């Protein structure tokens, strides 16, 4: 992964500004993938917009963003609680957030009902263009090294898979116990 590969999280007070930023971020040549994650008033999470330039052209950072969106918006995200109640949030001070939180800590702070967040993966040589979009539209931007996000996604996927396996083992044990109890009742009467 390139040294300058980052996953950027844009947050705007007005959800409509997120869509405007999405349109502009897509024009940045450094962006390999972008998506808007949105929570409806009823609490459901969706990905109403996504962008991956050049079908078949994949970049490392684009793959990280895709995996992140999949974990957060898919069944594992719901299983882990991110899709059902908390997802993507930004600290009010982007500089403090960039220094003090890892990717999934940022993500676990929550997309409030009726709000959204823009996630974009880029190999940035110059942060100026993305910063200018966030500033002009009144938003904040937090950058996390793509390698850190990738490691967090892998860790979350592994934890979810282990939790599912444990739940299956527990369910099988409970079913065996129920069957044993029923058989015991039948034969001890």
SS (H, E, C) the chain: CCCCEEEEEEECCCHHHHHHHHHHHCCCCCEEEEEEEEECCCCCEEEEEEECCCCCCCCHHHHHHHHHHHHHHCHHHHHHCCCCCCCCCCCCCHHHHHHHCCHHHHHCCCCCCCEEEEEEEEECCCCHHHHHHHHHCCCEEEEEEHHHHHHHHHHHHHHHHHHHHHHHHHHHHHHHHHHHHHHHHHHCC
Both tokens of 27, joined, read 């024009």
The reply to whether the predicted model has a pTM over 0.75 is no
Bridge partner residues of 173 (DSSP)? none
Query: Looking at the predicted structure, is the pLDDT value of residue 142 above 80?
Result: yes
Across 127-132, average pLDDT: 95
Q: Does the structure show a pLDDT above 60 at 34?
A: yes
Q: Is the pLDDT of residue 112 over 60?
A: yes
Residue 180 has pLDDT above 80, yes or no: yes
Per-residue pLDDT at 149: 74
Beta strands across the sheet bearing 45-51: 45-51, 31-39, 115-123, 5-11, 140-145
Q: Parse the chain into domains and list their residue ranges.
A: 5-162
């Amino acid at each position: 992964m390139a040294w300058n590969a980052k996953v950027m999280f844009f947050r705007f007070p007005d959800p409509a500004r997120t869509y405007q930023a999405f349109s502009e971020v897509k024009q940045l040549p450094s962006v390999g993938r972008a998506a808007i994650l949105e929570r409806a008033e009823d609490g459901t999470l969706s990905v109403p917009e996504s962008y991956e330039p050049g079908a078949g052209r994949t970049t490392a950072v684009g793959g990280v963003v895709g995996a992140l969106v999949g974990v957060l918006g898919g069944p594992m995200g719901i299983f882990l609680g991110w899709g059902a109640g908390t997802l993507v949030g930004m600290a009010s001070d982007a500089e403090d957030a960039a220094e003090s939180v890892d990717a999934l800590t940022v993500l676990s702070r929550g997309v409030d009902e009726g709000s959204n967040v823009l996630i974009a993966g880029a190999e940035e040589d110059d942060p100026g263009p993305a910063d200018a979009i966030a500033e002009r539209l009144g938003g904040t931007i937090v950058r996390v090294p793509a390698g850190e996000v990738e490691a967090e996604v892998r860790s979350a996927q592994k934890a979810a898979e282990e939790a599912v396996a444990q739940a299956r083992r527990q369910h099988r044990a409970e079913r065996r116990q129920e069957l044993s109890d029923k058989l015991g009742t039948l034969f001890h009467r």
